[in-house]
Structure 1
Amino acid sequence: MEPRNQIDASEFLLLGLTEDPELQPLLFSLFLSTYLVTFLGNLLIILAISSDSHLHTPMYFFLSNLSFTDICFSTTTTPKMLVNLQVENQSITYTGCLTQACFVMIFACLENCLLEVMAYDHYVAICHPLRYTIIMKPNFCGLLSLLSLLTSIVDALIHTLMVLHVCSCTNLETPHFFCELVQILKLACSDTLINYILLFFVATVWGGVPLSGIIYSYTQVVFSVLRMPSTGGKYKGSSTCMSQLSVVSLFYGTGHGVYISSAFHIFPGT
Structure 2
Amino acid sequence: MYFFLSNLALLDLCSTTTIVPQMLVNICSARKIISWTGCVAQLVISLGLGSTECVLLAAMAYDRYAAVCHPLRYMAIMSCSLCWLMAIASWLTGITASIVQMSLTVQLPLCGHNRINDFFCEVPALLSLACADTSTNEAGLLVGSVVILPVPLGLILVSYGYIGAAVLRIRSAEGRRKAFNTCTSHLVVVSLFFGTAIYVYMQPPSQHPQHQGKIVSLFYGIITPMVNPLIYTLRNKDVHRALRKALRKQCWMQRT
> For the superposition of Structure 1 and Structure 2, which TM-score range results when normalised by the shorter chain?
0.7 to 0.9
**1:154 alignment counterpart:** 96
Alignment of 1:233 with 2:153, yes or no, is no
Give the Cα–Cα distance (whole angstroms) in 2 for the partners of residues 193 and 267 of structure 1: 12
Name the residue aligned to 2:30.
Answer: 88
Name the residue aligned to 1:168.
110
**Cα pair distance change 1:179/1:135, threshold 3 Å:** same
Residues 103-118 of structure 1 mapped to structure 2, 5 A cutoff: 103-118=45-60
Deviations 1:118-176 (A, max 9, x none): 00000011112222111111111011101110111011001111123211110211221
Where in structure 2 are there 5+ consecutive unaligned residues?
211-256
Partner of 2:156: 214
Residue 199 of structure 1 aligns with an amino acid whose one-letter code is L
Alignment of 1:22-61 (within 5 A): 59-61=1-3
- Superposition RMSD in Å: 1.9
Bigger share in helix:
2
Distance in 1 (alpha carbons) for counterparts of 2:158 and 2:136: 33
* One-letter amino acid matched to 2:103: L
**1:190-243 per-position Cα deviation (integer Å, ceiling 9, x unaligned):** 232221110011112222111110011011111101111233221111112222
Separation in structure 2 between the aligned mates of residue 119 and residue 266 of structure 1, nearest angstrom: 34
Matching residue of 2:18: 76
How many residues align? The count is 210
Which residue number in structure 1 is paired with residue 64 of structure 2? Answer: 122
Aligned equivalents of 1:265, 1:157: Cα separation in 2 = 19
- Cα distance between partner residues in 2 of 1:132 and 1:269: 46
Displacement of 1:85 after TM fit?
Answer: 2.6
Cα distance change, pair 121–89 in 1 and its aligned pair in 2 (3 A): same
Q: What is the identity, as a one-letter code, of the residue corresponding to 1:241?
A: C
Contact persistence 1:123–1:218 (CA under 8 A):
yes
Alpha-carbon contact 2:109-2:130 (below 8 Å) kept: yes
Take 1:68 and 1:269, find their aligned partners in 2: how far apart are those partners?
32
Could you tell me whether the CA contact under 8 Å between 2:167 and 2:180 is conserved in 1?
Answer: yes
1:246 is matched with which residue: 185, 188, 199? 188
Percent identity (aligned) = 40
- Structure 1 SS opposite 2:86: helix
CA displacement 1:64-111 (0-9 Å, x = unmatched): 111111111111110001122333321111111111111111111111
- TM-score scaled by structure 1? 0.73
- Of the candidates 176, 183, 199, which is equivalent to residue 141 of structure 2? 199
Q: Is the 8 A contact 1:193 1:266 kept in 2?
A: no
Deviations 1:20-77 (A, max 9, x none): xxxxxxxxxxxxxxxxxxxxxxxxxxxxxxxxxxxxxxx1110111111111111111
Distance 1:129 1:179, change over 3 A: same
Listed as ranges, the gaps of 5+ residues in structure 1 are: 1-58
Given that residues 109 and 152 in structure 1 are in contact (C-alpha distance below 8 angstroms), is that contact kept between their aligned partners in structure 2?
yes
Partner of 2:238: none
